[in-house]
């Protein structure tokens, strides 16, 4: 009789203690068994790093194919679980196809033998136990991985583009200087109003390696699906995902998808509310303010123009007559070679009977008007020399001072109470007060200290939060000051400050046109 030997080893075996499950151990045992039973060995099949629930094991499937072609008579495995941990496959092959094909299955250690009809129930119980084991193992492993995620430890096989794994600290990321410079450039281009498609085109034109190509060039064994022949090129989805990735701001973002079952490789994407996000786990490539500004710009994203840039006021200019968006029309060349751009009401073009605003508005003049108004607001509200409100009249400052005064008083009170407790104890030792008096007074002092410390914790947390908010506001004010010095209106500045620009119709007599700017502040 000819026998096929099947061996399997997977990572799940790392959890076994005191049991040698190596491929070599399995082969030696099964070869010796085959010799003792007088079987001729047809072929040895072995799968390494494959779970017993995996139905796509290459050697396993090759063996099944050979079995269906009647190329051997017996299948030998160390245990039934080496063959499979899937109860469905136990029934399909051990109690179905193998009988149909005239194949005998023997698991040496388990004493499983399909020629022995009396132990069929035992095989079925083994199958159930093996599957339960794998289900419990899957749950335990998932719990361990989720705990690591919540601790802010990186558990992925490959670090995201721009980072690499810290060789000196497991689960930590450090910046990859070469790739990080490309990430900074991508965010910089996005801030200037360049769309994801054009960013990808620029990087491809300059032959900047894509994240996949970069990994492969640096010796990282990173494999991609064969269905993506353009993985070596930058694409707009790749750029768009990078611009959205909070990892670049220094936060660890994991658990964005999960397997539907331990028996399936299929994964599903989870809603953002279920992601595991731990802030400030590693050095940021992109500062927080820049990252948040880019997110605002992405929320208001619109189609880029013919040159791949997004117009500064795109989807922000609306008709004062009907409220529809105004869109850019044809351009007319000026004497100096530049082009004059116009916007007009989209609704009027489609349904003149609904909106009578047929005015074409000079886009350059509109941009200049918005920029001048921004500069005027910056000069009025962010110039310290023009701030006339006295500090003592500022309600926010008053509340902050009151909290700091209360905090100082409470800390002093806690110190006094602790000293009083010490003195009280000395009085007890000296016999000035008895044990009952000491206990009652001590309890009162301790309760006072506990209440004071609770209030101290609340005040410190509120002051810390207020300080963080003040720091954010100051950073934004400084950013606005810097942006307001630019020579022309940028998409970043428009997204930060402008809600919309309402353009009215022109007065037929005076030619005047009312422009109203609605701000985000």
Task: Give 302-325 pLDDT, tens digit per residue.
Answer: 555 545 567 788 888 888 888 888
The span from the first CA to the last CA of the chain, in angstroms, equals 85
> pLDDT tens digits, residue range 126-156?
766 666 666 666 666 677 777 888 888 998 8
The alpha carbon torsion through 182, 188, 190, 194 (nearest 10 deg) reads: -90
Answer yes or no: are the C-beta atoms of 66 and 72 closer than 8 Å.
Answer: yes
Is residue 154 included in any domain, yes or no? no
Answer yes or no: are the C-beta atoms of 112 and 105 closer than 8 Å.
Answer: yes
For the chain, state the CA radius of gyration.
36
Look at the block and give the residue holding tokens 């402008």: 498
Lowest-confidence region among 18-22, 292-296, 419-423: 18-22
Residues 339, 471: one domain?
no
CA atoms of 175 and 283, how far apart (whole Å): 7
Is residue 46 included in any domain, yes or no? yes
Of 147, 182, 216, which residue sits at a domain end? 147
Residue partners of 215: CB distance under 8 A and separation at least 6: 158, 161, 222
Q: Domain count of the chain?
A: 4
Answer yes or no: are the C-beta atoms of 252 and 277 closer than 8 Å.
Answer: yes
Report which of 312, 311, 397, 322 is spatially closest to residue 355, judged by C-alpha positions: 322
Residues 329, 374: one domain?
yes
CA atoms of 75 and 83, how far apart (whole Å): 9
Domain range spanning residue 267? Answer: 163-299
> pLDDT tens digits, residue range 360-418?
888 888 888 888 888 777 766 655 554 443 444 456 677 788 888 888 888 888 888 88
pLDDT band at 265 (very low <50, low <70, confident <90, very high): low
**Residue with more model confidence, 169 or 386:** 169
HSE-CB for 189 with a 13 A CA cutoff: 22
Per-residue pLDDT, 380: 67
Average pLDDT over residues 481-500: 76
Per-residue pLDDT, 15: 46
201: domain CATH number is 3.90.1750.20
Can you give 133-150 as a three-state secondary structure string?
HHHHHHHHHHHHHHHHHH
Distance of CA 379 to the CA centre of its chain: 39
Q: Return the DSSP state at 337.
A: S
Per-residue pLDDT, 387: 43
Structure tokens that stand for 129 in this block: 């136990």
Q: Return the DSSP state at 275.
A: S
CA atoms of 162 and 176, how far apart (whole Å): 5
Can you give 377-424 as a three-state secondary structure string?
HHHHHCCHHHCCCCHHHCHHHHHHHHHHHHHHHHHHHHHHHHHHHHHH
Is residue 134 included in any domain, yes or no? yes
Report which of 184, 86, 177 is spatially closest to residue 133, judged by C-alpha positions: 86
Q: Residue 229: pLDDT above 70?
A: no
Residues 122, 21: one domain?
yes
Answer yes or no: are the C-beta atoms of 170 and 48 closer than 8 Å.
Answer: no
Per-residue pLDDT, 381: 61
Residues 94, 136: one domain?
yes
Of 245, 269, 299, which residue sits at a domain end? 299
Residues 120, 169: one domain?
no
35: domain CATH number is 3.40.50.1390
pLDDT band at 230 (very low <50, low <70, confident <90, very high): low
Is residue 397 included in any domain, yes or no? yes
pLDDT band at 88 (very low <50, low <70, confident <90, very high): confident
> pLDDT tens digits, residue range 32-53?
999 999 999 999 999 988 888 7
Answer yes or no: are the C-beta atoms of 270 and 255 closer than 8 Å.
Answer: yes
Which span out of 132-141, 249-258, 280-289 was modeled with the highest average pLDDT? 280-289
Which span out of 91-95, 100-104, 353-357 was modeled with the highest average pLDDT? 100-104
Q: Residue 123: pLDDT above 70?
A: no
Lowest-confidence region among 111-120, 159-168, 218-227, 346-355: 218-227
Q: Residue 301: pLDDT above 70?
A: no
Report which of 272, 349, 357 is spatially closest to residue 323, judged by C-alpha positions: 357
Residues 405, 440: one domain?
yes
Is residue 482 included in any domain, yes or no? no
Q: Residue 454: pLDDT above 70?
A: yes
Is residue 312 included in any domain, yes or no? no
Residues 19, 50: one domain?
yes
Residues 234, 325: one domain?
no
Q: Residue 263: pLDDT above 80?
A: no
Q: Is the pTM of this model over 0.75?
A: no
Alpha-carbon distances of 456 from 360, 402, 466, rounded to whole Å? 62, 13, 15
Q: Residue 5: pLDDT above 70?
A: yes
**DSSP annotation string for 211-262:** HHHHHHHTT------TT-TTTTS--HHHHHHHHH-GGGGT-EEE-SEEES-T
CA atoms of 73 and 40, how far apart (whole Å): 10
Is residue 484 included in any domain, yes or no? no
Is residue 286 included in any domain, yes or no? yes
Per-residue pLDDT, 138: 64
Bridge partner residues of 491 (DSSP): none
Residues 28, 102: one domain?
yes
Residues 111, 217: one domain?
no
Of 236, 271, 299, which residue sits at a domain end? 299
Structure tokens that stand for 449 in this block: 């200290």
Per-residue pLDDT, 483: 60
**Residue with more model confidence, 485 or 191:** 191
Name the pairing type of β-strands 104-107 and 112-113: antiparallel
Average pLDDT over residues 511-521: 81
Q: Residue 61: pLDDT above 70?
A: yes
Structure tokens that stand for 227 in this block: 């269905």
Residues 334, 363: one domain?
yes
CA atoms of 150 and 143, how far apart (whole Å): 11
**Coil vs helix vs strand at 200:** helix
Residues 514, 377: one domain?
yes
Per-residue pLDDT, 177: 93
Per-residue pLDDT, 513: 81
Answer yes or no: are the C-beta atoms of 127 and 80 closer than 8 Å.
Answer: yes
């Amino acid at each position: 009789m000819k026998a096929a030997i099947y061996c399997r080893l997977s990572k799940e075996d790392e959890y076994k203690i005191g049991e040698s499950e190596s491929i070599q151990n399995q082969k030696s045992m099964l070869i010796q068994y085959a010799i003792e039973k007088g079987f001729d060995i047809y072929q040895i099949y072995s799968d390494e790093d494959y779970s017993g629930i995996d139905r796509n094991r290459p050697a396993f499937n090759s063996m099944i194919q050979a079995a269906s072609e009647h190329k051997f008579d017996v299948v030998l495995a160390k245990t039934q679980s080496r063959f499979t941990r899937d109860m469905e496959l136990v029934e399909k092959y051990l109690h179905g196809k193998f009988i149909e094909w005239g194949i005998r299955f023997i698991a040496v250690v388990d004493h499983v033998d399909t020629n022995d009809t009396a132990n069929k129930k035992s095989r079925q119980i083994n199958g159930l136990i093996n599957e339960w084991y794998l289900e419990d193992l899957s749950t335990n492993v998932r719990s361990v991985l989720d705990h690591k995620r919540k601790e802010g430890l990186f558990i992925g096989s490959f670090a995201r583009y721009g980072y690499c794994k810290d060789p000196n600290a497991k689960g930590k990321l450090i910046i990859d200087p070469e790739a990080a410079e490309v990430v900074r450039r991508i965010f910089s281009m996005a801030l200037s109003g360049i769309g994801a498609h054009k960013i990808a085109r620029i990087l491809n034109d300059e032959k900047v390696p894509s994240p996949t190509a970069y990994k492969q060039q640096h010796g990282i064994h990173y494999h991609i699906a064969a269905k993506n022949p353009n993985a070596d090129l930058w694409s707009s989805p790749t750029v768009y995902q990078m611009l959205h990735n909070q990892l670049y701001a220094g936060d660890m973002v994991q658990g964005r998808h999960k397997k539907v079952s331990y028996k399936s490789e299929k994964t599903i994407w989870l809603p953002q509310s279920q992601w595991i996000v731990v802030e400030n786990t590693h050095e940021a490539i992109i500062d927080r303010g820049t990252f948040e500004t880019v997110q605002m710009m992405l929320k208001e994203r619109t189609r880029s123009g013919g040159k791949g840039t997004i117009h500064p006021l795109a989807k922000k200019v609306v008709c004062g007559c009907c409220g529809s968006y105004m869109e850019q029309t044809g351009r007319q060349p000026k004497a100096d070679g530049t082009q004059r751009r116009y916007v007009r009401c989209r609704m009027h073009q489609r349904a003149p009977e609904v909106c009578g605003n047929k005015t074409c508005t000079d886009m350059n003049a509109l941009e200049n008007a918005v920029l001048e108004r921004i500069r005027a607001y910056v000069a009025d509200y962010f110039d310290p020399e023009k701030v006339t409100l006295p500090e003592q009249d500022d309600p926010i400052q008053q509340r902050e001072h009151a909290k700091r005064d209360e905090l100082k008083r409470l800390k002093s009170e806690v110190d006094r109470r602790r000293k009083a407790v010490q003195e009280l104890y000395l009085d007890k030792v000296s016999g000035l007060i008895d044990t009952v008096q000491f206990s009652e007074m001590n309890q009162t002092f301790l309760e006072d200290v506990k209440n004071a410390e609770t209030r101290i914790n609340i005040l410190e947390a509120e002051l810390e939060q207020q300080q963080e908010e003040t720091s954010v506001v100051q950073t934004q004010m400084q950013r606005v000051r810097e942006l307001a010095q630019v020579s022309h209106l940028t998409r970043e500045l428009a997204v930060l400050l402008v809600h919309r620009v309402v353009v009215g119709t022109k007065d037929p007599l005076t030619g005047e046109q009312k422009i109203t700017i609605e701000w985000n502040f």
